[in-house]
Structure 1
Amino acid sequence: MSVARPLTRAILALGSNLGEREGTLQSAVAELVDCPEVRLLNVSPVITTKPVGGPVGQPDFLNMVIAVDTTLSAMELLVHCQSVEQAHHRTRAVRWGARTLDVDIIVYGSVVSADPVLTLPHPRAAERAFVLYPWSLMDPHAMLAGKPVSELAAAAADMAGISHVQDVPLPQAP
């Protein structure tokens, strides 16, 4: 007899700056929740942002955040996210380089972990407007490390690089 695992709320950040960015984000959201262990709860608007770090001359990113409930462990969710990235031809040749798809686990419940494979909450999330701003649009009451996500977004150095919200049709939470 198997024991049902509890649901854990996770926030996932998605970004793309190569190829058909809108289609990639649409497909990635659908693929992330196309398994019985992951249920879509909420979807942020898609924003356009300047690249942060990495090589100069990269195209702008489309970024978004989704909230899911999952019975997967944090490491299983990481493997699932990476498999979706690979399905979209993600390569990791250059740190913070251009990519077809990036999926990061920002928070996984209240788990705090310094594991080098999966640090939780995401170690740079509290300073990245490209994660914080769409998250605050999706959930104006969201908190990260005891601080309102909207306040963290407003203080983030890359907030000025957010140019507009894209109108990309995405799967809707039930």
Structure 2
Amino acid sequence: MMNIPSSEPSEVYIALGANLGDREQTLMAAISMLDRHPKITVLRTSSIYETDPVGYEDQPAFLNMMIAAQTSLAPEALLAVLMETEQELGRVRDIRWGPRMIDLDMIVIHDHAFTWDSETLTLPHPRMSERLFVLIPLAEITPEGTLLAFVREFMGKLEGKEGVRRWKTVNWHSVSEHSAN
């Protein structure tokens, strides 16, 4: 396990998903709530993708996307913020991989070489390499480098790309417009 100094900002990639209610509005509300946090700045957003459910398949299609954010929070503290945000937006945990108002998952901090393993959090996300609805939007916002090469390698191994359809482009404001932090 590697510790991130709480005073040194790190780039984190967070997956967002929703398949109940006004899915797009809920995704945008989650991004805004995270960006308003004093120790989180949203840097980039992927497009929104409509995706077929995975695991528990008897449910509506999801809208999924990825954000890159900068944070000085330690991984466990960021996880707590993500869970609080889910709860504020109406997340109920009934069925594993079941329908939900919002799902926020930390995927990677810094790059895929950074690891974190605790009772509540494993990084990189243990199933990221199996899920195109994570890899496709992640590849869209990841700069050239080892993380992008890692993502592309796994994307090339997976089938089912037709189950991940670009739904809408998101134009998130630039960091220079960010005034809450």
Q: Same fold (TM over 0.5)?
A: yes
Candidates 37, 45, 53, aligned match of 1:43: 45
- 1:59-138 → structure 2 map (5 Å cutoff): 59-110=60-111, 111-138=114-141
Candidates 52, 55, 74, aligned match of 1:53: 55
Q: Structure 1 vs Structure 2: percent identity of aligned residues?
A: 36
- 1:20-39 → structure 2 map (5 Å cutoff): 20-39=22-41
Q: Helix, strand or coil for the counterpart of 2:165?
A: strand
The separation in 1 between residues aligned to 2:99 and 2:154, in whole angstroms, is: 25
Residues 94 and 4 of structure 1, relative CA distance in 2, 3 Å threshold: closer
Deviation at 1:158, TM superposition (A): 4.0
Deviation at 1:147, TM superposition (A): 4.2
2:12–2:107 Cα contact (<8 Å) kept: yes
The separation in 1 between residues aligned to 2:127 and 2:173, in whole angstroms, is: 28
Provide structure 1 residue ranges, at least 5 long, that are not aligned to the other structure. none
Residues 32 and 129 of structure 1, relative CA distance in 2, 3 Å threshold: same
The separation in 2 between residues aligned to 1:10 and 1:38, in whole angstroms, is: 10
The separation in 2 between residues aligned to 1:18 and 1:5, in whole angstroms, is: 37
Normalization by structure 2: what TM-score?
0.85
1:127–1:157 Cα contact (<8 Å) kept: no
Q: How many residues align?
A: 169
- Code of the residue aligned with 1:160 in structure 2: it is E
Deviation at 1:36, TM superposition (A): 1.6
The separation in 2 between residues aligned to 1:143 and 1:124, in whole angstroms, is: 18
The separation in 2 between residues aligned to 1:123 and 1:172, in whole angstroms, is: 30
| The 10-residue stretch of structure 1 (156-165 or 36-45) with the greater mean CA deviation from structure 2 | 156-165
Deviation at 1:41, TM superposition (A): 1.1
Residues 99 and 170 of structure 1, relative CA distance in 2, 3 Å threshold: farther
Residues 112 and 166 of structure 1, relative CA distance in 2, 3 Å threshold: same
Residues 37 and 50 of structure 1, relative CA distance in 2, 3 Å threshold: same
1:26–1:171 Cα contact (<8 Å) kept: no
Residues 53 and 39 of structure 1, relative CA distance in 2, 3 Å threshold: same
- Code of the residue aligned with 1:172 in structure 2: it is H
Deviation at 1:155, TM superposition (A): 2.4
1:52–1:158 Cα contact (<8 Å) kept: no
